[in-house]
Amino acid sequence: MKKKLIHIIKFLIFFSISCFLFWYVYRGQNTSELIFTLKNEVNYYWILLSLFFGLLSHISRTIRWNMLIESLGKKPRTINTFLAVMVGYFANLALPRMGEISRCGLISKYEKISFSKLVGTVVLERVLDIIMLIVFLIIALSTQFSVISHFFSNNPEVSRKLSNIFASANTLYVIAGISILIWLLRKKFKNTLVFKKIDQTLSNFMDGFRAIKQLDNKWTFAFHTVFIWIMYYLMTYICFFSFGFTSNLPAIAGLTVFVMGSFGMVAPVQGGIGAWHFMVIGTLLVYLPEVTNIETMSKSFALVVHGAQTAMIIILGALSVILLPIANRNHTKLIKSEI
């Protein structure tokens, strides 16, 4: 009961932040203008095509995660991995970063694989995602530096927050302090049951994190790592053709909008709600200041693109929650009989 209450409180806190950010971005917006734009000036064919690229990215992520798990000597069913990944995205709409834990828990439950090893593989995935985001950021900075610097000059509060994040070393001090304390006391608690349990969990986690070393085909793994992020980029760029005011922007502009939006997605709010909109709208305002009614058009773009992607996650995630136990009905019985 207490655990559920904590989850509810966390959800309400993050949801409140999301609502505030969304209100902050769309405050003062003429609703009738927005509705008119959504009804008459959007080619939804391109939006649907962007969702297809999104689906390809989810399938590729499924295959990549399966490769990591298989390198641990396990062979989960692809359908289970895909459904778990989609449930993970769905869970992130409830609580940020909850999805990583959820999908590990589901695979651990249905495939009988160590939960801590699975967490290690997911942490490795996140490290690779950060590396890919940095690569895309470097490309954007090297080609569109004036646009990005203009964005931050228009939004000094974003610059201050990013500076505080990078300047603050408190988190590192805490981690270093805990690590030193554990190292100093390791002999004293070495033979205790709690220490052994923690040590085993950490060992399993590191096995998962080091899974990349045991990969049979590292080039295929690298391909999927790049492919996932190219699909993410295309999800944003292809939507440029849905609106007349963005249809003539070059592909590199799409990359810049995608990168800026990605920083909004990593904000501690459900599904980047509000934060993603703010970053994308602000970037489009820099690119197209001369367009008539640009603020309404940019807000329409952000609303449609993010709304479509979120709708896909909700639909596929909800279906995955339903299908997982159905897909594993006979599989679970088979595992139990073998045990």
* 38 vs 235 pLDDT, higher one: 235
Answer whether residue 28 is part of any domain. no
Q: What is the pTM of this model?
A: 0.82
Banded model confidence at residue 214, pLDDT cuts 50, 70, 90: confident
Average pLDDT over residues 181-202: 60
For the chain, strand residue ranges (E) read none
SS in 3 state form for 267-280? CCCHHHCCHHHHHH
Answer whether residue 63 is part of any domain. yes
Q: Residue 30: its pLDDT value, please?
A: 64
Q: Residue 167: its pLDDT value, please?
A: 47
Q: Is the pLDDT reported for residue 168 higher than 70?
A: no
Banded model confidence at residue 264, pLDDT cuts 50, 70, 90: confident
Q: Is the pLDDT reported for residue 250 higher than 70?
A: yes
Count of domains for the chain: 1
Cβ proximity of 155 and 282 under 8 Å: yes
The sign of the dihedral angle between the CA atoms of 120, 124, 127, 129 is: negative
Q: What is the largest CA-CA distance in the chain?
A: 71
Judged on CB neighbours under 10 Å (0-12, 13-18, 19+), 327 is middle
Q: Residue 10: its pLDDT value, please?
A: 54
Q: Residue 195: its pLDDT value, please?
A: 56
Tokens standing for residue 140: 């954007």
Q: Which domain holds residue 251?
A: 33-164+205-332
Q: Residue 12: its pLDDT value, please?
A: 53
Q: Residue 292: its pLDDT value, please?
A: 82
Answer whether residue 123 is part of any domain. yes
Answer whether residue 64 is part of any domain. yes
Task: Give 110-166 as a DSSP string.
Answer: HH---HHHHHHHHHHHHHHHHHHHHHHHHHHHHHHHHHHHHHHHH-HHHHHHHHHHH
Q: Residue 20: its pLDDT value, please?
A: 58
Pairwise CA distance, residues 154 & 149, whole Å: 9
Pairwise CA distance, residues 253 & 7, whole Å: 39
Answer whether residue 97 is part of any domain. yes
Q: Is the pLDDT reported for residue 315 higher than 60?
A: yes
Answer whether residue 319 is part of any domain. yes
Average pLDDT, the chain: 81
* 158 vs 11 pLDDT, higher one: 158
Banded model confidence at residue 286, pLDDT cuts 50, 70, 90: very high
Average pLDDT over residues 211-234: 91
Q: Is the pLDDT reported for residue 277 higher than 80?
A: yes
Q: Residue 136: its pLDDT value, please?
A: 95
